Amino acid sequence: MLLKLAWRNIWRNKRRSMIVIGSVMVGVIALIIIDGLNNGFLSQMLFNQVDLNISHVQIHKRGFHDNKVVQSFIPDKKKVEKILRKNGKIKHFSERVVSFGLVSSAVSSSGVFILGINPEDESKITTVSKSIIKGKYFNGKGREIVIGSKLAEKLKVDLGGKVIALANRPDGSIGSEVFRIVGIFRSPSSNFDKTYIFVPIKTLQRMLGIGNNIHEFAIVTQNYNLAETVRDEIKQELSDKYEVLSYHDILPLLIMQMDLYKETMYIINMIIGLALIFGIINSMLMAVFERVNEIGVLMAIGMKNGKIFSMILLESLLIGIVGTVFGVFIGLGLNEILSVQGIDFSLFSKSLESWGIGAVIYPHLSLENLITTFLMIPFITMLGAIYPAWKAIKLEPVAAIRYV
């Protein structure tokens, strides 16, 4: 009955309650949009890198990740392949030769990562093949090369143009090859577009004089969340001559940033909650002062302070719950629309692309933060009623009954 009484008390002054519920609702919508945007921002920063190049899990010879020397080959390619094929959690994998070198055109040159790939396998691992804006993704034969748009601008080359790639061979000599540009890609990361070039794996192996050796296996699992499980499973089957890394290991700073962001959301919740709390205090104080006489009667008929206190807190909590529920529904609806359409931040495209995010951000809500908002905002709303409730129980029954 206390709940019924509290609920009905809220609607005694519909306009005032609707204003407070509206303010809670706006706060919750703002939190959902902020969370969606921030989370989308960080997720895009992380997953663009994962999808463009990193993949979910990588296997190298131990030490290759920190020191990419050309002679650090995968010790037993066949053995690794066998292990990968029998793991049901792995969707695709691709062999890579990775080298750091120089690419030159007639007018300019630039330091780049040269990736020797099998395009058919690699197209299942990364999104580069889908990011071609000119020409095509190569077929993996001959001296074809795919480069980024930023690099093409820097080298002042276009489709059909020739570039020379140079890189160290294991014996210390320089390997070189002339390539014809068959495709130019544009990814969400301007840095990636400037520093990565893709050539057929056989051509790069020949250029570096490394036979059939490779440096890396790039693996895509059934979903992102399986990356660490798959890493651990592969690790168990390989000796310590190998290093097996998930994208968490390769991009630790971004993962830390995402974890830190979750903590930040608590603070943002608190700030919005604090902004709301003053409105709640004001509204609940008015509600208490309007009912001084009635509170006096409740005291006279034997309602204890604890129950009166709870009733006022409950009224505020109900306002918070109603506002939060509506806010979550509207916020989720808006988030759903924005997550499909994306929010165009072309005005800031330069800086966003340098962060590897892309000019369009697709909001992405985290369930954890949504639950935090759902629990925290009604709780904060309830806290806002503590002072008015305290004022109520400090009333003297005789004075309260006579209060006009």
Partner 1 sequence: MEILRTENVNKIYRDNGVPVQALKDINLKISKGEYLVIAGPSGSGKTTLLNLLGTLDKPTSGKIFFENSDYTSKNRKELSEFRLRKLGFVFQAYNLIPVLTALENIEFSMMLLGIPEKERRERAMNLMAELGIDDLADKKPNEMSGGQQQRVAVARAIVNNPLIVLADEPTANLDSANGSKLLDLMEKMNEEKNITFIFSSHDKQVIERAKRLIILKDGQIVNEN
User: In the range 11-70, which residues lie near partner 1 by CB under 8 A?
Assistant: 11-12
CB nearer to partner 1: pick between 248 and 307: 307
Q: Does 4 bind partner 1 (CB under 8 A)?
A: yes
Which residue type, as a one-letter code, is found at position 334?
L
Distances (CA, A) of 47 to 162, 167, 188, 250, 302: 32, 29, 11, 12, 62
C-alpha closest to that of 6 among 278, 307, 286, 304? 307
Task: Decide whether 301 or 347 has the Cβ nearer to partner 1.
Answer: 301
- 57 secondary structure, DSSP code: E
Does 121 bind partner 1 (CB under 8 A)? Our answer is no
Q: Closest distance between partner 1 and the C-beta of residue 321, in Å?
A: 19
Nearer to partner 1 among residue 285 and residue 401 (C-beta): 401
Is 159 a residue that touches partner 1 (CB under 8 A)?
Answer: no
CB nearer to partner 1: give 8 or 241: 8
**DSSP SS3 for 102:** strand
Identify which of 265, 256, 337 has the alpha carbon closest to the alpha carbon of residue 45: 256
Cα(316)–Cα(213) distance, rounded to whole angstroms? 69
Give bridge partners of residue 109 from the DSSP assignment: 104
| 294 sits near partner 1 (criterion: CB under 8 A) | yes
Q: Quick check: helix, strand or coil at residue 144?
A: strand
DSSP-based three-state secondary structure for 231: helix
Instruction: Say if residues 102 and 239 touch (Cβ distance below 8 Å).
Output: no
Q: What does DSSP assign to residue 12? A: G
Q: Which is nearer to partner 1, 174 or 398 (CB)?
A: 398
Binding span for partner 1 by CB under 8 A among 92-100, 223-231, 295-303, 368-376 = 295-303
3 binds partner 1, rule: CB under 8 A: no
Tell me how far, at minimum, the Cβ of 294 lies from partner 1, in Å: 7
Identify which range of 5-13, 119-127, 149-157, 379-387 contacts partner 1 by CB under 8 A.
Answer: 5-13
Contact region with partner 1 (CB under 8 A), list: 43-51, 120-128, 179-187, 304-312? 304-312
Does residue 394 interact with partner 1 by CB under 8 A?
A: no
Q: Is the dihedral of CA 340, 225, 123, 168 positive or negative?
A: positive
Shortest Cβ distance from residue 355 to partner 1 (Å)? Answer: 55
Indicate whether 85 belongs to the interface with partner 1 (CB under 8 A).
Answer: no
C-alpha span between 307 and 289 (Å, rounded): 18
> Does residue 303 touch partner 1 according to CB under 8 A?
yes
As a whole number of angstroms, the distance between CA 45 and CA 351 comes to 12
- Give the residue, chosen from 15, 172, 302, 347, that forms a contact with partner 1 under the rule CB under 8 A: 302
Q: CB of residue 281 vs partner 1: minimum separation in angstroms?
A: 22
CB of 40 to partner 1, least distance (A): 45
- Per CB under 8 A, the list member of 104, 108, 168, 293 interacting with partner 1 is 293
For partner 1, which residue of 301, 340, 347, 367 counts as binding (CB under 8 A)? 301
Check binding of 297 to partner 1 (CB under 8 A): yes
The answer to whether residue 9 forms part of the interface with partner 1 (CB under 8 A) is yes
- Asked whether position 304 contacts partner 1 by CB under 8 A, the answer is yes
170 belongs to the binding site for partner 1 (CB under 8 A): no
- Residue whose token pair is 């918070």: 320
Beta-strand relationship, 196-200 and 109-117: parallel
| Alpha-carbon span 289 to 16, nearest angstrom | 14
Q: Does 397 bind partner 1 (CB under 8 A)?
A: yes
The position carrying tokens 């899990």 is 57
On whether the CB atoms of residues 148 and 185 are closer than 8 A, the answer is yes
One-letter amino acid at 2 equals: L
Residues paired with 100 in a beta bridge: 113
Binding site for partner 1 (CB under 8 A): 1-2, 4-5, 8-9, 11-12, 293-294, 297-305, 307, 396-398, 401
